Amino acid sequence: MFIARTVCREEETPIPQPGRNEVQIRVQSVGICGSDVHYFVHGKIGRFVVNAPMILGHESSGVVSALGDGVTSLKVGDRVAIEPGVPCRMCSFCKGGRYNLCPDIVFCATPPVDGSLRRFYCHAADFCYKLPDHVTLDEGALLEPLAVGVYACRRGGVQLGSNVLVLGSGPIGLLSLLSAKAMGAAQIIVTDLDQGRLDMALNLGAHHALRVDTRDPEEMARRVEEALGCKPDVSVECSGAAPSVQTGIYATKSGGALVLVGRGPYSMDLPIVNAAVREVDIRGVFRYANCYPLALEMIASGKVDAKPLITHHFPLEKTLDAFETSRTGAGGAIKVMIHCDQ
């Protein structure tokens, strides 16, 4: 499935063969991410611009179908989740453990790199994670957005007893909620414009859910504190909307942390002095690093049940319908899954 701005078509392409230290994967499940929809609708995200036909998809899992030279960690028939970003492994960021910041990282479905929304795909073996027998391939595909939630909570310092605010209850917000819960958060409060998303958050274990019905960030911050009985230690902003980021600053406890996950306007008005004088740390998030093992353990152990987030299923041939469902939120869509094996 090639996507070029808003032009979409199915196309036969050669079956790729694995290179050294790579595996060929018969792709099974691919989740639609907000970034996929953004490329589909707008043809770009910030500095990443689609200038040529590009295959979408990066939330993927499948079955190993062939091995390249040098691969010993996997065998044909293994069910794997695919971590979609492969760094250079040589630069200071990689050697320091922050490979998500590698300037030469090759990330699925980020222009000009093709993604994994196809029947066969080749990937570095050391960025494929074997799934236990009881973990489904759909759950394997969910490891990618769950890793974002894990990384956001790590960046914020969520730990046993933390009070956490999650701003925005889309898929990443809900997975941040589940991550915070698994990491021992005492109380979790979520905000959103959509009551259906808030109801889902409550079903997933949020202690409080506030509907955003005002653009006054200080008023929303007061409501958060009133509901929690205190200011949150950590706020995780997942919408990218300026009023929501502002609310995050006002709401967060002095000495706490606000983590920016959502992608909104390139620049926005922020009460930065309020954050500075109260020593509220504002921390960015760019994808994740070293989070797949923990995300997989959370799913495998049952500490996180992400399956309720999958609301719709489509075969590969119905990809356009899948994207429209994800784009519009039709039928209460949260996470739309495409099945390439059907």
Residues 273-283: tens digit of each pLDDT: 999 999 999 99
Query: What is the C-alpha separation between 278 and 297, in angstroms, rounded?
Result: 36
Average pLDDT (286-315) is 98
Torsion of CA 79, 339, 30, 142, to 10 degrees: -70
Residue 45 has what pLDDT? 84
- DSSP secondary structure string, 119-136? SEEEEEGGGEEEPPTTS-
2 vs 73, more confident: 73
Residue 6 has what pLDDT? 55
Please report which confidence band the pLDDT of residue 336 belongs to, taking 50, 70 and 90 as the band edges.
very high
- Tokens matching residue 114: 């093709």
What separation in angstroms does the CA of 274 have from each of 157, 235, 251, 267?
Answer: 21, 15, 11, 18
In sequence order, what are the residues at sequence separation of 6 or more whose Cβ sits closer than 8 angstroms to the Cβ of residue 338? 29, 30, 31, 32, 57, 117, 313, 314, 315, 316, 318, 319, 322
Please report which confidence band the pLDDT of residue 337 belongs to, taking 50, 70 and 90 as the band edges.
very high
Average pLDDT (84-88) is 98
User: Which domains, and CATH codes, for the chain?
Assistant: 2-130+306-339 (3.90.180.10), 147-284 (3.40.50.720)
pLDDT at 5 over 50: no
DSSP annotation of 205: T
Cβ atoms of 283 and 156 within 8 Å: the answer is yes
Residue type, 316: L
Average pLDDT (246-260) is 98
Torsion of CA 49, 51, 54, 58, to 10 degrees: -10
Average pLDDT (134-154) is 98
Average pLDDT (231-247) is 97
Please report which confidence band the pLDDT of residue 7 belongs to, taking 50, 70 and 90 as the band edges.
low
Residue type, 271: P
pLDDT at 286 over 90: yes
Residue 2 has what pLDDT? 38
| Phi-psi region at 287: left, alpha or beta (left = phi > 0; alpha = psi -120 to 50) | left
Residues in the chain: 342
Query: What is the C-alpha separation between 146 and 299, in angstroms, rounded?
Result: 9
pLDDT at 4 over 70: no
Average pLDDT (83-90) is 98
Please report which confidence band the pLDDT of residue 255 belongs to, taking 50, 70 and 90 as the band edges.
very high
- DSSP secondary structure string, 269-300? ---HHHHHHTT-EEEE--S-SS-HHHHHHHHH
Residues 19-74: tens digit of each pLDDT: 999 999 999 999 999 999 989 888 888 788 898 899 999 999 999 999 999 999 99
